[in-house]
Structure 1
Amino acid sequence: MDDLPHLAARCKRQLSRASTCFLTPQATEGPYYWNATIRQNITEGKAGIPLRLSISVIDTNTCAPLVNALVDLWHCDAVGIYSHYIAASQGIAGTGNDNETFFRGLALTNANGIAIFDTIYPGWYSGRATHIHMKVHVGSNVTSNSSGTYSGGHVSHTGQLFFNDTLTDSVATMSPYSTHVITRTRNSEDGIYASANGSVTIVSIIQNSANNYSGAVTVGVNSSATPAPVGGGEMGPGIGQIPPNRNNFSIIMANMTSVILTTTLTSHVGAASALYMSCSTIFFAFLLYI
């Protein structure tokens, strides 16, 4: 751990020399989006391995942290069920939606562009690798701190976060994940992971204890972008429908890996992106260290 300050300093110099900002690949919203409230803890007491997830948001227009953006997060529980779509998650048609809100929430990015969530390591369901959905809302106003509501603004990113398969193999042996007996889809078998270059958004995990994780990921967004929806969407774990976008925010679903470059050639994108993500992990570990 004594080397972390030096590694962090070296990464800062390397990133400065690269002079490069990358847009994180977009991914489909999926069928189970539902607007949530502003809150850090989204577990509502549901079982699973605790995960404190730190999401760093970088504005590719300035290469600086994006402050006061709303990061919108949602994922399934340990056995593949989405709140508000519990019946549909289990393939039960015609029963309508429920009012459950577990594993849904929004958090404001702080002065360092970081939004923090207390959740669990997500579960999985047939046909999809283990993942978390996210959006980044820009220019929204918090209308009530007590009720966690917001208004206005636009969505500048819609994407998905992924997890290392080997780690998920280990998680799958633990309760309550072990009760969900299905053939799990690995990253290499997930079409959305492939089309969205999912390796860029694999969450870096630090194991605090046998049953407690911290995770970090960096997302680059164009804060001024408001493109129209593009392309299709993923199939959910059961029968469902695309829910309405209740705030009339534009949704980014561009199936691309756009890049803003200042001095780095396109052929160097892979190396620079890998540097950026590895340095993000080091900075995260350094923050824990200090």
Structure 2
Amino acid sequence: MSTSTPPQPTDRPEPGVHPDHDRGLEFDVRTLLARRSALGLISGAGLLALVGCATDTTSGSTASTTASTTSSATAGASSSATATAAAGAVDTEVPDETGGPYPGDGSNGPNVLDDSGIVRQDITSSFGTSTTTAAGVPLTVNLTVTDGANGYAAMEGVAVYAWHADAQGRYSMYSQGVENENYLRGVQPTNAEGTATFTTVFPGCYDGRWPHIHFEVYKSTAEATSTGQIVKTSQIALPQAACEKVYADTATYPQSASNLGRTSLTGDMVFGDDGGIHQLATVTGDATSGYVANLTIGV
């Protein structure tokens, strides 16, 4: 793993703003504005419009009806955790989104992708010099990748790099206290159905963002682990109903419930323009046995 020191915020965060993510929101906005300005505000191709600088901090009631219906409790979620995701109806490419300030891909400080051990399905623990395991409700993520240029057929053998915040809203390799960890990061190739599967924990909700999982798609595992060309960078949104049940455990997720209450899926600066309709996962399970999140995307 590269040891270059990541940039640190220089300003004291405002009251109520997570200290590790004050700079992150500004970085996300600048990146989104630059990317979507370059795209020329293309419409009708599944891409989001320009994101405004203001973040809606109202209650998530607007998105609750849509988001809540995507999560339903099912018996034996743990036994179905490794099941291949059923491909959903996809007729447009998933929107490009910012990778944020904590990608760990070498574009902003450290690079975990060239480390031995990054290709793994279970990303709950750090690897290398640390074996710390991230706490949280079990979550299996099935991300199915389809080819927009080929009738949205399943893409076998492409690689997905996934990463997300821990239960306290921290990103390994960057945030204070976990700079020497690399948990909740990993690369997986897609199977014959185009699905890459990760075993992880439910991410926390930090101030100013809807709960999400970052991902990058590469042409192959070799490309992913050699700083190759990124095919797609985007994010997975998690449904409100599941988030509320998980965040009821305030001992493990100390700030998530209050942070979730101050934002909404439709007001999120990444998902807000279309309510995350192309990025909202279907989630089943419960907070005791764990959850399974399925999403099919076009690239």
Q: Same fold (TM over 0.5)?
A: yes
Q: 1:52 aligned to 2:52?
A: no
**SS of residue paired to 1:22:** coil
Aligned to 1:189: 267
1:25–1:196: 8 Å Cα contact kept in structure 2? no
Pairing partner for 2:279 from 196, 201, 207: 201
Output the CA distance in 2 between the equivalents of 1:176 and 1:104: 23
Question: CA deviation digits over 1:239-272, x for unaligned, max 9?
Answer: xxxxxxxxxxxxxxxxxxxxxxxxxxxxxxxxxx
Give 1:197 deviation, angstroms.
Answer: 4.9
Give 1:61 deviation, angstroms.
Answer: 1.2
Aligned to 1:78: 167
- CA RMSD, aligned part only? 2.7
1:47–1:176: 8 Å Cα contact kept in structure 2? no
Q: 1:210 aligned to 2:299?
A: no
Aligned to 2:39: none
**SS of residue paired to 1:194:** coil
Question: CA deviation digits over 1:113-166, x for unaligned, max 9?
Answer: 100000011101111010111110114527xxxxxx822642111001001112
AA at the equivalent of 1:220 = G
**SS of residue paired to 2:225:** strand
Structure 2 stretches lacking a partner, 5+ long: 1-73, 75-85, 106-111, 113-117, 126-132
Q: 1:136 aligned to 2:217?
A: yes
Greater percentage in strand = 1
Output the CA distance in 2 between the equivalents of 1:209 and 1:125: 19
1:132–1:161: 8 Å Cα contact kept in structure 2? yes
Aligned to 1:157: 232
Output the CA distance in 2 between the equivalents of 1:79 and 1:192: 21
Output the CA distance in 1 between the equivalents of 2:100 and 2:242: 24
Give 1:206 deviation, angstroms.
Answer: 1.2
AA at the equivalent of 2:233 = T
**SS of residue paired to 2:181:** coil
2:204–2:253: 8 Å Cα contact kept in structure 1? no
Structure 1 stretches lacking a partner, 5+ long: 2-10, 91-96, 143-148, 222-290
**SS of residue paired to 1:141:** helix
1:27–1:196: 8 Å Cα contact kept in structure 2? no
Output the CA distance in 2 between the equivalents of 1:21 and 1:117: 25
Aligned to 1:105: 186
Aligned to 1:220: 298
Aligned to 1:283: none
**SS of residue paired to 1:61:** helix
Question: Which structure would you say has the larger RCO, counting Cα contacts within 8 Å and 6 or more residues apart?
Answer: 1
1:140–1:154: 8 Å Cα contact kept in structure 2? no
After superposing on structure 2, the runs of 4+ consecutive aligned residues of structure 1 that deviate more than 6 Å are none
Give 1:191 deviation, angstroms.
Answer: 1.6
**SS of residue paired to 1:200:** coil
**SS of residue paired to 1:168:** helix
2:173–2:180: 8 Å Cα contact kept in structure 1? yes
Output the CA distance in 1 between the equivalents of 2:269 and 2:149: 30
Aligned to 2:33: none
Report % sequence identity. 30
Output the CA distance in 1 between the equivalents of 2:219 and 2:208: 32
AA at the equivalent of 1:48 = G
The 1:177–1:199 alpha-carbon spacing in structure 2 relative to 1, beyond 3 Å, is farther
Output the CA distance in 2 between the equivalents of 1:187 and 1:50: 22
The 1:163–1:71 alpha-carbon spacing in structure 2 relative to 1, beyond 3 Å, is same
The 5-angstrom pairing of residues 1-290 of structure 1 reads: 21-35=91-105, 36=112, 37-44=118-125, 45-62=133-150, 63-87=152-176, 98-141=179-222, 150-151=225-226, 153-180=228-255, 182-184=258-260, 185-195=263-273, 197-207=275-285, 210-221=288-299
Greater percentage in helix = 1
The 1:167–1:152 alpha-carbon spacing in structure 2 relative to 1, beyond 3 Å, is closer
Mean Cα deviation higher: 112-121 or 196-205: 196-205
Normalising to structure 1: TM-score of the pair?
0.60
AA at the equivalent of 2:297 = V
AA at the equivalent of 2:163 = W
1:205–1:216: 8 Å Cα contact kept in structure 2? yes
Give 1:174 deviation, angstroms.
Answer: 1.6
AA at the equivalent of 1:84 = M
Normalising to structure 2: TM-score of the pair?
0.59
